Amino acid sequence: MSDLQIGLILLGVVLILLVLLFNWWQDWRIRKQMQEQFPERESDPLLGTEAPVMARTRREPGLGATEAPGVVTESDDDPAEVDPTTEVVIDISFAQPVPSEQLHAAIHAIRKVGTKPVRIFAEKEGGGHRASLRPKENYVSMQLAVLLANRSGPLSEIEWSELWTIAQGLAERFDGSTEGPEQNEVVERARRLDAVCAELDAMVGLALQLPGALSVADVSRALEEAGFLRHGQQLAWMAEQGIPRFTALFNGRLPGEVQSAGVDRVELLLDLPNSPADDQAFSRMASVGRHLAANLDGQLLDDQGRPVADGADQAIDEQLQARYQQLVESGFIPGEFRTARLFS
C-alpha cells in the first residue's frame, strides 16, 4: 500500500470523526436550548394541583394582595414604577425588614387621599422592586405615590397633609423614618400640572332629542342594535383597542343610574384624553347620532342646542385631531392608562 493510499485512508477517518463530533455538538446544543426553554419541574403539573408559574393569572400593579401576581420569578422587578411627571412620593424606610403579611395589614385600605389616587411600591429585602406584595417576602422600604392632579383639580395642601399623616403612622408602626418634598414645592408642582392638563382637556358632546319619553330598556336596545356595547356601567361605541371612542348618557346619567320611568334625551360624549386618537372622531360620532335620530324619530343637536349641520363634520375632525396631537406632544397618549389617571 502506497503512502498516498495510507494518507487518503487517514484523511477519511479524520473526516468521519469530525462529522461525528459536529453532530454530537449540535445535538448537545439543541438539548441545552430545550432545557432552557422548558426547565424540569419539581412536580409534574399533570399529576399535581399546583399551576405552573407561567399559567398563573397576571394582575394589574397594586398593593393589598397576599397572592403571587404571576408571570414573574422571585428575582424579577415589577414593571410598574412611580411616574415622576404626574406623581409625588413619600419614602418610608423601615428599621427592620417587615414581613409582607404585616405590611399588607397596614396598607391594604390606602387607596386615595381626598380625590387623588395613591399607588404603593415596596423594596424587597435583598433587592427587588415590587408594585404588589408577595407572600413570604420581607420589605425594607416603601413609597407612597400620589397623583398630582386630575379633573377634580390639583393636589391640595389638605390632601398632601393627609398623605403625610398616613406615612408617619406607618413609620411609627414599623419603627421607620419618612422622607419627602416640602409641601410648598408639592402644591406648586400640582398647580403647574393641573394648568397644563386644563389646556389639553376637551370633551365634545351631541344630544339626541327624542319626540317623547321612551323606556330605558327601549332606548338601550336601540343603541345596542346600532352597535353600542356594554362597558362596565356604560354603553359605549368601542375602538379596536377595547376602550370607548364615545359613550351614551340618558338624561345626563349612566343608563343604569336613571331613576325616571322614561328617557327623552340621549347624550353622546367624546372624551378626547380618554379615547384613542382618531382623525374622524367627530364625524364618526355624528354619523352614529344621525342613524339613531332616524331610527328613534329624534333630532340631533350640538352642545349649543342647535341642529347639527352636515357640512361641519370635517372641520371639527381637524380641530380635534390638532388637540389629539397636542396631547401626544405633551407626553400624554390619548386612551392610555397613564393619561386616563390624569383626566378622570
Q: What is the DSSP string of 33-95?
A: HHHHHS---SS-TTTSSPPPGGGSPP--S-SS--S--SS--TTPPPS----TTTEEEEEEEEE
What whole-number distance in Å separates Cα of residue 295 and Cα of residue 256?
22
Quote the cell numbers at residue 62.
397594586
Torsion 212-213-219-223 (CA) sign: positive
Chain CA centroid to CA 69, Å: 16
Q: What is the pLDDT of residue 310?
A: 79
- Tell me: the pLDDT tens digits for 128-157? 999 999 999 999 999 999 999 999 999 999
In this prediction, residue 28 has a pLDDT band, given cuts at 50, 70 and 90, of low
Q: What is the pLDDT of residue 292?
A: 96
Q: Tell me the domains of the chain and their CATH numbers.
A: 87-196 (3.30.1400.10), 201-342 (3.30.1400.10)
What whole-number distance in Å separates Cα of residue 195 and Cα of residue 209?
35
**Contacts of 180 by beta carbon, 8 Å cutoff, 6+ apart:** 88, 89, 90, 91, 164, 167
- Tell me: the pLDDT tens digits for 58-79? 333 344 443 333 334 445 789 9
- Tell me: the pLDDT tens digits for 84-125? 999 999 999 999 999 999 999 999 999 999 999 999 999 999
Q: What is the pLDDT of residue 25?
A: 59
pLDDT above 60 (res 15): yes
- The count of other CB atoms within 10 Å of the CB of residue 82 is 15
Q: What is the pLDDT of residue 19?
A: 65
CB 280 within 8 A of CB 230: no
What whole-number distance in Å separates Cα of residue 30 and Cα of residue 66?
39
Torsion 55-56-57-62 (CA) sign: negative
What whole-number distance in Å separates Cα of residue 108 and Cα of residue 64?
4
Quote the cell numbers at residue 176.
421607620
What whole-number distance in Å separates Cα of residue 312 and Cα of residue 315?
6
In this prediction, residue 48 has a pLDDT band, given cuts at 50, 70 and 90, of very low
Alpha helix segments (H runs only) across the chain: 3-37, 100-107, 157-173, 183-200, 216-226, 281-296, 313-329, 337-342
What number is the average pLDDT over the span 33-48?
Answer: 37
Q: How far is CA 68 from CA 62, 137, 207, 211, 302, in A?
A: 12, 11, 47, 55, 50
- Tell me: the pLDDT tens digits for 168-215? 999 999 999 999 999 999 999 999 999 999 999 999 999 999 999 999
**Contacts of 140 by beta carbon, 8 Å cutoff, 6+ apart:** 93, 94, 97, 98, 123, 124, 125
